[in-house]
Structure formats: structure tokens, C-alpha cells
Structure 1
Amino acid sequence: MEKILITDVGLAPSENVIKSLNKSLIKEEIIGVARNPLHLITSKAQTKRHIPYEYVLGKDYKKSFLRILEKEKPGLAVIMNDKEILEISKFRDDINALGTKLYIPRHGVIEKCTDKFESYKIWQAEGIKVPKTMIINDISDLKKALSNLGDKEGKVWLRATVGAGGRGALPTSNYEFAKNWIDTYKGWGTFTVSELLQSTKTVTWLSIWYEGELVVAQTRKRNSWGFRNRNLSGVTGVTEVGETYSNEHVNRIAIDTIFAIDKKPHGIYGVDMTYDQNDIPNPTEINMRLFTTCYFFTEAGLNMPEIYKDIILYQKFPILEKKINPLPDGLLWIRDMDREPLLTTEEEIHKLIQ
């Protein structure tokens, strides 16, 4: 039996990958790696390995990670943390030498995607519609950005260039508030200010590519953010209600966004887009990992984690009637804390209120 190592287990993204893999036709042993022992104990991985806090992305991380690979000998490592993808990519040759495969983009591509300002500059140069953005190195940059990029109310979008889950995101028109916010994050030089988009209307285009060829892509609208009332920006990175969706304009923008960064895509590319005031989707970032709601697609009939690992471990590609948006539109995935998510439709919901 093949083995698959998955990082950051015990958290929703990785656990939903594990649940998807457990539904695949060919089963593998899942080795879960985490830095928090509480996450390990709650994980559904069959085998669990701990990397101490002080090792994570520190000087001993490479040695610790390779030691686990030497002991467990997995055929594939699935990395579920953006910063960890960047770090592991640096010693991918050592990983491959141990017989473990990675299915990730080239290192230079990963560097561009993990820095939101770098990817923004590439998209802007390629003529892709993106919100005007400035890197904030000092207070003069902040004042200039607030003056030049504000909407009718003077509001801009402030966020960290690296990180997920809406890290550091804040809509504001207040200079003192913005300055204190950046101070709190120690974010001078690593925060940007952008034009404010319609942050309530977003789509994600999750895709798998192999040596420049698209294998499959599925679009999901985000109808609402979970726990949005617990966050100043209302953006948490937690989808409360997702909906399958297809739109040719979104498809074209997503593909152009990916090719602007990588002429030969290989691995996972999840393009996040937010609509602007003219109802045009603007790319905001590309993630190179499976999303939390990949299990939504699995339950709906599209098991992307299975497709992903079957390609690398067994050279088995899916047979699909449609490569782009094979799932029907209008499927809803409703999530909340401490209960199983639910797959349903608007029609089923309306039956309850008629």
C-alpha cells in the first residue's frame, strides 16, 4: 500500500483532504504531520507524526521533515500550508532523493504567488484587471495611498502581502487607525493598500494542472464568510456558504491569471477573485494547495484530492465530460462550527419556508 504524507493535519483544510482521500477508489495509508499535538490527536490520519513548534520553518525544520520521510517512506507529500509550501520547495531535491514525490509548481512560481504584491505587479504588467495597489514602506506611503486610492468615502483595503485567512485585512479611511494596525503587525514593508473592491462578492477557481495542461477546474462562489462578525474586515478566509458556479468570463480571467505567473502550470492553482464596482472579477491571489471546501466538491461528485494523488502515484488521469466546471451550478455547501457541513440546493431550502 502506498503512503501519503499530509501536513497541518487536525485543521479543516487537511482533514477535508483526508476525508476525500478516504472516499477514493484506491486507498493509501495517510501519515499526518502537525506541530500542535492537539491537532494530531483530533486528526483522522492513520499515522501521526509531530514536528515541534520550534522546528516549524526554523533552522531545524528541514532536518526534522526529512527524518519523518526517511522513517515513513511516503510516495507523495501533500503540503497544506502556504508558508510551508515555500519552505519545502527550497529542498525539494532532497525530498525527491528519498523517493517522495511533490506535485507543486516550480520554486520561482511559488515565490511569486506567496507574495501578493509581487503577483499583483505581474498581473498589472500583463494587462489583467487588478485593484490599484501600493506597498507601504513608511508613513508617507500610507498617506499617499489613502489620498490616491480611496473610494467615495475615502476607504481603502489594507492587507498583509503574505498569509492566508484574510491576514491583516482591513477596510479603512482613517490614517491613525491604519498606522496603528500596521504597527501592531510590525508590517511596514509587508503591507499593501489597494482600491476597495466589492469584498462581499467573491469567487474561487480551483484547478489542477499537469506539465502545462489543465486537468480539471471547478468554480465556487462564496455566498458568505463564516464568523464575519468576529473580524473588523468581515473577511475571515472561512466560507460559510459556498455555491458551485460557472461563468466563461471568470474562466478566462482565471486562466489568464495563472499563465501570467506560470507559462507551464504544474500542480494546484486556486485563483481567488473579488468583484470590483463594475462587476469585473479581479484576481487577488493564487494559492497552491487544496482548499478547505475541496470536500464540498467531493461530496458533489468531484474528488479533486483523489485526482491529484492518482496522477502522481499511479499516472492515472480522470475521464471527464467537462474539464472546466464539471459539477452542476447551484449546489450549496453550508458550514458552521461543531456540526457536519451540509450539501443542498436553494430549492430544498425554499421547501422549508413555503
Structure 2
Amino acid sequence: MLTVLVTGAGGNIGASMIRGLCDWNRSVHIVGTDVSRYYCFLSQADATYRVPPASDEAYFDRLSEIVERESVDVIVPSNGWEVRALSQHSETVPAVTALPQGGAVAQFQDKWRLSQAFADKNVQTPKTILVEDPSDVKRAVDNIPTDYIWVRGIGIKDYPGRKMRDLSRIVDWIDYHDGWGSSTVSTYLPGDDLTWLGVYDDGTLVCSQGRKRLEYGESRSWGTGAPTVSRTIHREDVNELGKRSIETVDNAPHGVYFADFRADEDEVPHLTEVNPGRLGTTSSAFYLHMGLNLTALLVQIALEESYDAPPTFNALPAGFHYISKANCDPVVVTDEEIESEGFEP
């Protein structure tokens, strides 16, 4: 029997990937791992183990022990920390993965380095300044000609991004997060909040899908965290820009990536970040609801098996909304249903 290990099994992405493996028309023994002694209880895997953080030197010893004990064939990580660790030390663990190259992962996960990588490429990004002390904040406020600027950390889930303008509040916000040298301020773009997910197999784009985020009802800041409402879209510019954003940095893309964009006042998308090697909170659940089992596809790519490939672009129909909130069962609703059955105020 095929054995697949899902990391972060007690989290929302890990839970969706486990559902994908359970829905697959194939017998799979599912092993879950999680860092949290509490979230392990949320895992729906057949067997669940606690592991140290991926930054801990004991991480690979513990993971290898689990892989050997459970005869794991494939590892599918669900978070950026384990994507980075596994992509850089894949030979350490006796199981296969479908992950990008370690160097590309490191560059994608550093938002400042990523913005600089596109400075002389044909990919538009917001004007961005690295802030190392308060004088950089003043320079940014003086030189970014928008009503607001976007302040955020540059690493993996460093700290929430926030739309701000007041100089003293920006300095206090960065101070509070001990973010000098690891924060950026950027042009705040007021247009559509867009994302594009692509799955690659050894340099070839297998399938992709674009989406527009509509509401962040449970997030502390717009554009941070998972949206509560998002909608599938078919946009040629987003498809082209998403593909180019990945392939500009990674010359042999492999596995899954999702690129985020914000549009300017003329509705031109600008790249804001790329998340390599993992599914997102919404895509892992939404696309599975729509019949696109990306977890199963990634396992087949890792095993170098043949598979039925979805359409390269626009893998799902446009105009479907995914609506989800904590403690509520998510629903998928069409444009037509919202127009004809939407609740009146």
C-alpha cells in the first residue's frame, strides 16, 4: 500500500490534503506529523507523530525515524518552514517529494530578495524599500506617492502586513515586531487582490488556476491570511504573469507554487509574493471541493507516475465562489446563485 506523510497534519492545509488523499480512488496509508502537542489531536491521519520545528537540528532525525517506521513513500509538506528544510536537504530523508530547488525556495520566501529579482525583469512589482532604521521609513513615506503604504515582514509569516501612512505609527509597528532589517514598505495598490496557482512537473506546467479574493472577514488586516470569500477567474494576463513569475526565478520549476498579485488603479496586476512548494489554505480546500485533487497529483508527480493532467490553464470553471468561516461548513456558490438567490438587505 502507498504510504504518504503529510506535515502540519493538525493545520488547515494539512487537513485539506489529508481529505484529498482520503477522497482519492487509491488505497493510501496516511501518516501525519505536527509540531504542536495540541494540534496533533486535530489530525485525521491514520497515524500521527509529533516532530520538532524544521529549524531544530533534531528535525531530520525524528522525521527519518518516522519515515522508516511507517515505510513512507512520499512526503507532502504543508508549510513554508518544512518546504524550505526538505528542499535543501531532500537526501536526508528516505522518501520522495515534489518540491522546487532549495535555492529557488529561499529566494521566493524572502520578499525583499524576490522584489529585487524582478527589478530588471518584465514582471511588475510595487515600489519597495527595505527598512533598516527609522530614516528608511521617512525616505519611503517621502518617496512613495500614494495615500497609504504597505508595511510587512519579509520572511515566512514574519508578521501581518498592514496598510499605514503615519510615520510614527509605522516606526512603532516595526519596533513592536523587532523588524528592523527584516521589513519592507511598499506602494499600497488599491485594485483587485489576485492569486494564481501552478503545478509543475520537471519544468513543465501541468495545470493552473487563478482566483480573486473578495473578503477577509476573519483576518486582522486586509490581504493577510486566508480570505473568507474568493472566486475562480479566467484572466489571460494573470495566467501569463503567474507563469512568468515562477519561471523567472526557478529555471526548472517542480511541484506547486502560488503567486499573489495586487492590481493598481488601472487594474494592472503587480506581483507581491510567491509561495513555493505548498498549497494554500483556500486552494487546498476549494479546488478539492471542485474536483481538482492537487494533493493526489503532487504525490503522482513525486513518484514519477503517469496521471490524467487537468487543463494547463483555467483548470476549473470561472465564477465559482468559495465561502468559509471558522466553525462553519464551507460552501461553493456560483455567480448565478448569488445573483438569483442572494439575500437581500
Q: TM-score, normalised by structure 1?
A: 0.92
- Report the equivalent of 1:309: 299
CA distance in 1, matches of 2:136, 2:195: 31
Specify every segment of 5 or more residues in structure 2 that has no aligned partner in the other structure, as ranges: none
Letter in 1 for 2:155: V
In structure 2, how many angstroms separate the alpha carbons of the residues matched to 1:259 and 1:91?
A: 22
What's the secondary structure of 1:239's corresponding residue?
Answer: coil
Determine if the alignment matches structure 1 residue 277 to structure 2 residue 265: yes
**Aligned to 2:106, which of 104, 108, 111?**
111
Would you say the 8 A contact 2:98–2:301 is kept in 1? Answer: no
Match among 59, 63, 66 for residue 65 of structure 1? 63
Could you list the per-position Cα deviations for residues 106-151 of structure 1 after superposition, in whole angstroms to 9, with x for gaps in the alignment?
A: 1110110110111111112213111010111111111111111141
Q: For residues 178 and 32 of structure 1, what CA distance do their matches in structure 2 show?
A: 40
SS in 2 for 1:277: coil
What CA distance in whole angstroms lies between the structure 2 residues aligned with 1:10 and 1:121? 35
Cα deviation for residue 71 of structure 1 reads 1.8
Q: Does 1:138 align with 2:133?
A: yes
How far apart are the structure 1 equivalents of 2:290 and 2:324? 15
Q: Which residue of 2 aligns with 1:206?
A: 197
Q: CA deviation at 1:102?
A: 1.4
Which of 306, 312, 337 lines up with 1:323 in the alignment? 312
Determine if contact 2:210/2:234 at 8 Å carries over to the other structure.
Answer: yes
Q: Partner of 1:171: helix, strand, or coil?
A: strand
Q: Pick which of 32-41 and 100-109 moved more.
A: 32-41
After TM superposition, which residue ranges in structure 1, 4 or more long, deviate above 6 angstroms?
Answer: none
1:279-308 Cα offsets, whole Å, 9 max, x none, are: 111111111201122221122121111111
Counterpart mapping for 1:134-173 below 5 A: 134-151=129-146, 153=147, 155-164=148-157, 167-173=159-165
CA contact (8 A) 1:150 1:196 kept: no
- For the residue of structure 2 that corresponds to 1:183, the secondary structure is helix
CA distance in 1, matches of 2:24, 2:306: 13
Q: For the Cα contact (< 8 Å) 1:133–1:195, is it kept in 2?
A: yes
Q: Which amino acid aligns with 1:144?
A: R
- Which residue does the alignment assign to 1:258? 246
Q: Distance in 2 between matches of 1:14 and 1:207?
A: 19
Shift of 1:171: 1.2
Give a deviation string over 1:50-90, Cα, whole Å, max 9, x none.
Answer: 124xx542232222222222222211111111122112223
Contact preservation (8 Å) 1:103, 1:312:
yes
Q: Give the % identical residues.
A: 28
Aligned equivalent of 1:216, options 207, 224, 236: 207
Matched, 1:187 2:185: no
- Residue 161 of structure 2 aligns with an amino acid whose one-letter code is A
Question: Which secondary structure state, in structure 1, belongs to the residue aligned with residue 199 of structure 2?
Answer: strand
Structure 2 length as normaliser, TM-score? 0.94
Tell me the equivalent position of 2:82: 84
Q: Does 1:240 align with 2:232?
A: no
Aligned mate of 2:274, from 286, 293, 309: 286
User: Gapped runs of 5+ residues in structure 1?
Assistant: none
Question: Does structure 2 conserve the Cα–Cα contact (< 8 Å) formed by 1:241 and 1:335?
Answer: yes
Contact 1:2–1:28 (Cα < 8 Å) also in 2: yes
Structure 1 residues 163 and 314: CA distance shift in structure 2, 3 A: closer
After TM superposition, the structure 1 stretch with the greater mean CA deviation from structure 2, 241-250 or 58-67, is: 58-67
Cα separation, 1, equivalents of 2:223 and 2:259 = 16
Aligned residue pair count: 341
Structure 1 residue 326 displacement after superposition: 2.2
Q: Which amino acid aligns with 1:45?
A: A
Paired position in structure 2 for 1:175: 167
Amino acid in the other structure paired with 2:267: D
Q: Could you tell me whether the CA contact under 8 Å between 1:3 and 1:73 is conserved in 2?
A: yes
| Structure 2 counterpart SS, 1:278 | coil
Query: Conserved in 2, the CA contact under 8 Å of 1:150 and 1:173?
Result: no
The residue that corresponds to 2:91 in the other structure is: 93
3-state secondary structure, aligned to 2:23: coil
**CA–CA distance in structure 1, aligned partners of residues 306 and 281 of structure 2:** 24
Match of 1:335 among 324, 336, 339: 324
